[in-house]
């Protein structure tokens, strides 16, 4: 998805913010909502990554962690970042059984990647590398800022829409009936914009992630396992903050059957098919100098 289209969609989210404000409080409400939207964008630019990590109670880790699995995970991220020509991101783990991962941060110099303990338990080191290469692709593409801001705006729109029940809406715009419509339709509209922004970015991150790790089939295998795990294991953090679901490599809300019409992620099988087609063509090649991390013999986290 190009920068222009993403800008248009972000503008649409901001306009939706203003529209909800107008329906709640007329012209004055719209101006207040737009001012709030601008303030939210500025705040999100500097702080959204910290907010998301706090929502998920993420713990910073490195290659000195007492757990061998966590140490290897941190080393995998370090090696892949160097291969992709990226600064070393901060590395986090989330105590959650559902396998999943995300990246956040306003730019590559202030990036962070996070994986759940469920992902570290369920996936092989090669598959973990495929997942983290995907997340680093989001960092490389500077998707992390856009996706985090859209999550923050969408959450704020939902909160603003819920105020409709308390204030009853603008009398000239349907009163309580209009307020109920705002409460239901505004979050749905915000979700559609999030979906439009996120889906194309996932395909692109899959492609570049496959190039970073050099093995599309490892990412494909990881996606199949994560998708199955997410369908069976709810993610309590994501259920409390559904607007953050677009940040994850697989929709974390699918554990409650929400991965349908308004999913911010493409169908997992479509992603797997594209990756396996890349593997069949021998398309992906590891980035940077030196051998692929999967070439044996090699010392390091992959064996």
- CA-CA distance, 250 to 259, in Å (whole number)? 9
Start-to-end Cα distance in the chain = 36
Q: How many CB atoms lie within 10 A of CB 203?
A: 16
Catalytic residue list: 135
- CA-CA distance, 218 to 225, in Å (whole number)? 11
Count, in order, helices (H) and strands (E) of the chain.
9, 4
Kindly list the strands in the beta sheet with 101-104, ordered across the sheet, starting from the edge strand earlier in the chain.
59-61, 90-94, 112-116, 101-104
* DSSP H/E element including 104: strand 101-104
* DSSP H/E element including 168: none
């Amino acid at each position: 998805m190009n920068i222009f289209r993403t800008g248009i969609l972000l503008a649409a989210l901001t306009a939706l913010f203003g529209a909800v404000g107008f329906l709640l409080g007329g012209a004055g409400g719209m101006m207040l909502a737009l001012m709030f939207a601008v303030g939210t964008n500025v705040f999100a630019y500097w702080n959204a990554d910290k907010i998301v990590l706090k929502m998920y109670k993420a713990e910073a880790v490195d290659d000195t962690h007492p757990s061998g699995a966590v140490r290897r995970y941190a080393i995998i991220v370090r090696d892949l970042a160097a291969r992709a020509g990226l600064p070393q991101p901060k590395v986090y783990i989330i105590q959650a059984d559902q396998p999943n991962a995300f990246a956040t941060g306003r730019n590559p110099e202030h990036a962070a990647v996070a994986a759940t303990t469920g992902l570290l338990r369920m996936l092989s080191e090669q598959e973990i590398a495929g997942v983290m290469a995907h997340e680093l692709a989001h960092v490389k593409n500077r998707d992390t800022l856009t996706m985090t801001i859209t999550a923050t705006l969408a959450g704020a729109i939902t909160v603003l829409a819920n105020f409709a029940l308390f204030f009853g809406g603008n009398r000239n715009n349907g009163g309580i009936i209009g307020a109920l419509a705002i409460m239901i339709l505004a979050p749905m509209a915000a979700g559609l914009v999030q979906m439009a922004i996120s889906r194309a970015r996932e395909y692109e991150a899959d492609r570049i992630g496959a190039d970073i790790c050099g093995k599309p089939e490892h990412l494909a295998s990881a996606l199949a396992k994560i998708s199955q795990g997410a369908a069976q294991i709810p993610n309590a953090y994501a259920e409390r903050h559904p607007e953050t679901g677009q940040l994850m490599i697989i929709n974390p809300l699918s554990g409650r059957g929400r991965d349908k019409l308004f999913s911010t992620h493409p169908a997992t099988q479509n992603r797997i098919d594209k990756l396996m087609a890349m593997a069949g063509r021998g398309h992906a090649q590891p980035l940077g100098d030196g051998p692929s991390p999967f070439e044996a013999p090699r010392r390091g986290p992959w064996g």
